[in-house]
Amino acid sequence: MAHHASHEPEVVVIPPNKEKIMHLWKVAGILLVVTIFEFIVAFSMQHGTWKTFIFVVMTIVKATYIVGEFMHLKYEAKVLIWSILVPIIFIVWMLVAFVYEGMKLSDVNFLR
Amino acid sequence: MSQPTAATIPGRTEWDGGVSPMGVSYGKLMMWFFLLSDAFTFSGLLITYGLIRSQHPAFPGDHAHFVFSQEYWPVPEKVFEAVPFFHGVDLPLVFVGFMTFVLIMSSVTMVLAVEAGHRMDRKAVEKWMLWTILGGITFLSCQAWEWTHFIVGTEAGSTIKEFVNGSWATRVIHGANLHENQYGPHDFADFFFFITGFHGFHVFSGVMLNFLIYYRTVTGMYDRRGSYEMVEKVGLYWHFVDLVWVFVFTFYYLV
């Protein structure tokens, strides 16, 4: 066949950027280290407010890395970042309202 | 990578819809807002879990002497302590830790697939999508095992007192379902099935979407289209599933 018509488009593959890929693996490393740290805390600390506090902080650290780096939100337009972050206020409000309600319900303790 | 600056559309003025202020495509923006609404749903579940848990008394004694009872909320690390092929060995949270590792790794391979998509590198997208699908299937299989173990229960079981035909009787129950629970108050099992089930269904949907993306990559659809942005959109969803698991892991298994 002298003439071969191809429907496949010409695709130019850009070579990988080593620095960018290293950065992604670094973020993955941080996530794993934080998770391992959580495990160590889980088995070496007495249960209580401090332990819960550490877990919550570690979780927020992990969430920041996942959303900021993996989901790329850190590098988006400012208005997009705020459109996603500001509605989170409603979740915080729900948390406060339910925890407050929960404390009142434990006072009544109708389950027992 | 998408540009953080506002994109302009040729032939249209700024006041004629010619500027995209968020600098992302419609599909990607809608994926973000869908994920935001999904975050509300999961927050609702986890916060309600906290509310119900705070109404139940906690185990009063030292954790080393913990026994299952309907009287107080169980200590999660005493419930989730089994690992496949290590029957009878007390390995608290080891299996769920492995599941967390699998999901984080599949998130990494997904972000590498997105990165390869930006470079129009079909072979690399195929490779990393396959790893991501494998991670998702591994996670789901682990969850299936964990559910089975939770439902079947331990050999010793737990003795409950119940009112049958006008008199009190005792009965040994094994495992948990929506009506009775060997490990503690039945709300504990209900939330376990609902929260991890809802998350597991998200993972399942994610694996389906990832497979679709993989299929379309292999058949050259994105090469013809000239853009691998679909990988990015499904990638957002997959990272969100990982994000939710981070919260479930903390608030259901650790705290």
Q: Terminal CA-to-CA distance of chain A, rounded, Å?
A: 86
Contact at 8 Å (CB) between B188 and B181?
Answer: yes
Q: Is B47–A95 a contact, with Cβ atoms under 8 angstroms apart?
A: yes
Question: What amino acid is encoded at B238 in this protein?
Answer: W
Query: Alpha helix locations (H) across A1-112?
Result: 18-44, 49-65, 78-85, 88-108
DSSP state of B67: -
Q: How many CA atoms lie within 13 A of B148 on its CB side?
A: 8
CA nearest to A15 within chain B: B119
Contact at 8 Å (CB) between B219 and A28?
Answer: no
Token reading at A110:
């109708």
Judged against a pLDDT cut of 50, whether residue A1 lies above it is answered with no
Cα separation, B47 vs B226, in Å, equals 43
Q: Terminal CA-to-CA distance of chain B, rounded, Å?
A: 38
Token reading at A88:
């989170």
Residue of B26, B111, B186 best to disrupt the A interface, most CBs of A under 10 A: B111
Torsional sign, CA B199, B202, B203, B204? positive
Cα separation, A85 vs A62, in Å, equals 16
Superfamily of domain covering B27-254: Cytochrome c oxidase, subunit III, four-helix bundle (1.20.120.80)
Ordered DSSP codes for B178-247: SS-BSSS-HHHHHHHHHHHHHHHHHHHHHHHHHHHHHHHHHTTHHHHHT--HHHHHHHHHHHHHHHHHHH
Nearest to B49 by CA among B248, B254, B200: B248
- CB contacts under 8 A, A 57-86 vs B, are 58-59, 62-63, 66-67, 69-72, 75-80, 83-84
Token reading at B15:
């006041």
3-state class (DSSP) for residue B5: coil
Cα separation, A74 vs A54, in Å, equals 24
Q: Each residue of A96-110: pLDDT tens digit? A: 999 888 878 877 765
3-state class (DSSP) for residue B73: strand
CA geometry: angle at B89 spanning B86 and B93, to 5°? 90
Cα of B115 to nearest chain A Cα, Å:
8
Q: How far is CA A70 from the centre of its chain?
A: 9
User: Which residues are B171's β-sheet partners?
Assistant: B160
Q: Each residue of A59-112: pLDDT tens digit? A: 999 999 999 999 999 999 999 999 999 999 999 999 999 988 887 887 776 555
pLDDT confidence tier of residue B2, bands split at 50, 70 and 90:
very low
* Complex confidence, ipTM: 0.87
Judged against a pLDDT cut of 80, whether residue B5 lies above it is answered with no
Which range among A34-43, B15-24, B62-71, B100-109 has the greatest average pLDDT? Answer: B100-109
Nearest to B155 by CA among B133, B195, B182: B182
pLDDT confidence tier of residue B64, bands split at 50, 70 and 90:
confident
The chain-wide mean pLDDT, for chain B, equals 90
Contact at 8 Å (CB) between B43 and A94?
Answer: yes
Q: Each residue of A25-58: pLDDT tens digit? A: 999 999 999 999 998 998 888 878 898 899 999 9
Cα of B159 to nearest chain A Cα, Å:
19
Contact at 8 Å (CB) between B238 and B62?
Answer: no
Q: What is the pTM of this model?
A: 0.89
Cα of B97 to nearest chain A Cα, Å:
8
